[in-house]
């Protein structure tokens, strides 16, 4: 259960005061805070097990390998995958780049990749790098409320479309995309289906399905430490793929001029892995499992719902993304109209524009009230361009946030609403 106050007591950082006041952390989309259980697991690893994994034959190394592999099992179990389908990476970005430099590199001139206009840069740039070799990248659009335009996606899905890579939940609009429906369409077309789950797996129940070929996510966005990420890959896909990095660990046999690679997932984990990261992520998963992912989703839906309602009462505030909380996660991008009497000569052809406060000004204004929101383009510039904006402010929630945070946030926004 998560009470309406959130679970701050498990998170040591919330004992910290800045300017003598509690911190209101509303930037979990960027990264999450860590519970005591995760911090203890990390020190516990170094105090009790540390040795290099998969290499040595002595007991301590066996134990280190065991906790590392147990962490992998825990991740697999959390999303309904098999252990050998879980590759540890640094983060979502590296997971997606791994795919670009393996299956992406096998594409030829005229092949197409379909993504959406609401992707994070880390699900755009690994694909547009292939344009140099004549691969075409298409973007499926979204409607005014930020729902993915499935008709547009279908019409852009061509015979030449080899890869479709879609975010499960937008890190700006909050939109939850219907990945099962999309997966079906993609599979009928015979394309590879990749899901950027960086913003979904931390916040809602998630099970891999047959239509999903690959799923990427980050540990640090789900209460785990930084520097550990995951790539789920269907085993038959992983088995066909060439390795990404090469070096220690990932080989069965090396001769002067030849090599036999390990089987997946080790084939994709060259070099000493981030064992403390895997152990920390596993502890984070244990923490989330005790709460239950349905409960996490319920709590965030509740906070989102009171936030949207509160924002609707503030005349100068506009938020983006779906109005129905069933269709969105606890990420709320917004802007505030600048009602100050600005006597500047900025308007094109003297037409008075509806001026917005710059998102950094909103964030600094809130920062001075200890309310921490993100501002800018959120690593999604094409999305910002589609919205006709250069940036937004963004608040996002997680298990430690409560109604009290929402109240202070809305009250502070209200002060901006009436300023001058």
User: Which residues carry out catalysis?
Assistant: 379
Q: Which does 272 bind (CB under 5 to 8 A by kind): ligand PLP, other proteins, none?
A: none
Among 59, 109, 343, 352, binds other proteins (CB under 8 A): 343
Which region, judged by CB under 8 A, interacts with other proteins, from 74-82, 109-117, 274-282, 383-391?
383-391
Q: Which does 209 bind (CB under 5 to 8 A by kind): ligand PLP, other proteins, none?
A: none
**Is 400 in contact with 25 (CB distance < 8 Å)?**
yes
Which region, judged by CB under 6 A, interacts with ligand PLP, from 5-13, 117-125, 288-296, 390-398?
117-125
- Cβ 23 to other proteins, closest distance in Å? 14
User: What are the percentages of helix, strand and coil residues in the chain, rounded to 5?
Assistant: 40, 20, 40
Which region, judged by CB under 6 A, interacts with ligand PLP, from 65-73, 196-204, 240-248, 293-301?
196-204
Among 15, 106, 324, 364, binds other proteins (CB under 8 A): 364
Helix (H) or strand (E) holding 336: strand 331-336
| Distance, C-alpha 358 to centroid of its chain | 25
218 binds ligand PLP (CB under 6 A): yes
**Is 130 in contact with 137 (CB distance < 8 Å)?**
yes
Q: Which is nearer to other proteins, 211 or 338 (CB)?
A: 338
Cis amide bond preceding 168, omega within 30? no
- Cβ 343 to other proteins, closest distance in Å? 5
Q: Which is nearer to ligand PLP, 94 or 405 (CB)?
A: 94
Say how many residues touch other proteins, by CB under 8 A.
Answer: 24
Q: Give the side-chain half-sphere CA count within 13 A for 141.
A: 9
Q: Which does 171 bind (CB under 5 to 8 A by kind): other proteins, ligand PLP, none?
A: ligand PLP
Q: Could you tell me how many residues make up the chain?
A: 420
Locate 297 and state its tokens. Answer: 């989703």
92 binds ligand PLP (CB under 6 A): yes
Please give the full DSSP string across 370-409, using - where no structure is assigned. Answer: TEE-EEE-TT-HHHHHHHT-S-EEEEE--TT--HHHHHHH
What does the alpha-carbon distance between residue 82 and residue 73 come to, in Å, rounded to a whole number?
8
Closest CA to 218 of 111, 123, 301, 103: 123
CA angle, 325 as apex, 324 and 327 as ends, to 5°?
A: 75
Which region, judged by CB under 6 A, interacts with ligand PLP, from 56-64, 91-99, 238-246, 300-308?
91-99
Question: In this structure, is the dihedral angle defined by the CA atoms of residues 59, 63, 69 and 70, taken in order, positive or negative?
Answer: positive
Q: Binding string to ligand PLP for residues 12 to 31, with x set by CB under 6 A, is what?
A: -----------------x--
**Is 146 in contact with 173 (CB distance < 8 Å)?**
yes
22 binds other proteins (CB under 8 A): no
Closest CA to 178 of 213, 208, 148, 204: 148
- Cβ 388 to other proteins, closest distance in Å? 11
Binding-site ranges for other proteins (CB under 8 A)? 19, 340-346, 357-358, 360-361, 364-365, 367-368, 376-377, 381, 389-391, 419-420
Binding-site ranges for ligand PLP (CB under 6 A)? 29, 91-93, 120, 122-123, 167, 171, 196, 198-199, 218, 379
């Amino acid at each position: 259960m998560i009470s309406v106050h959130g679970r701050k007591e498990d998170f040591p950082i919330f004992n910290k005061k800045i300017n003598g006041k509690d911190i209101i952390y509303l930037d979990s989309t960027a990264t999450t805070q860590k519970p005591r259980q995760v911090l203890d697991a990390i020190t516990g690893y170094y105090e009790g097990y540390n040795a290099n994994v998969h290499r040595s034959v002595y007991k301590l190394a066996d134990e280190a390998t065991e906790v590392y592999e147990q962490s992998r099992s825990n991740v697999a179990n959390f999303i309904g995958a098999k252990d050998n389908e879980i590759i540890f990476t640094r983060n979502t970005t590296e997971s997606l780049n791994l795919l670009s430099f393996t299956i992406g590199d096998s594409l030829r001139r005229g092949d197409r990749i379909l993504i959406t206009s609401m992707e994070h840069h880390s699900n755009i740039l690994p694909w547009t790098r292939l344009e140099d070799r004549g691969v075409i990248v298409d973007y499926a659009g979204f409607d005014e409320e930020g729902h993915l335009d499935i008709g547009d996606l279908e019409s852009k899905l061509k015979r030449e479309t080899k890869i479709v890579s879609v975010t499960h939940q937008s890190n700006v609009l909050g939109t939850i995309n219907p990945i099962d429906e999309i997966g079906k369409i993609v599979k009928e077309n015979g394309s590879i289906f990749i899901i950027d789950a960086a913003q979904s797996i931390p916040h809602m129940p998630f099970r891999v399905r047959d239509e999903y070929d690959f799923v990427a996510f980050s540990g640090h966005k789900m209460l785990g430490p930084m520097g550990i990420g995951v790539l789920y890959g269907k085993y038959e896909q992983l088995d066909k793929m060439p390795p990404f990095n090469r070096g220690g660990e990932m080989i069965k046999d090396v001769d002067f001029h030849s090599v036999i690679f390990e089987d997946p997932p080790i084939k994709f984990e060259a070099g000493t892995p981030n064992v403390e990261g895997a152990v920390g992520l596993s502890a984070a998963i244990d923490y989330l499992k005790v709460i239950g992912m349905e409960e996490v989703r319920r709590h965030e839906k509740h906070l989102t719902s009171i936030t949207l309602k509160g924002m609707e009462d503030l005349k100068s505030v506009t938020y983006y993304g779906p109005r129905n909380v069933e269709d969105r996660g606890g990420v709320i991008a917004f802007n505030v109209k600048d009602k100050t009497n600005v006597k500047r000569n900025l308007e094109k052809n003297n037409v008075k524009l509806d001026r917005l406060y710059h998102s950094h000004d909103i964030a600094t204004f809130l920062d001075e009230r200890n309310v921490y929101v993100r501002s800018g383009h959120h690593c999604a510039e094409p999305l910002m361009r589609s919205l006709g904006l250069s940036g937004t402010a963004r608040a996002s929630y997680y298990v430690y946030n409560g109604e009290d945070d929402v109240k202070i946030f809305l009250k502070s926004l209200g002060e901006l609403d009436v300023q001058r």
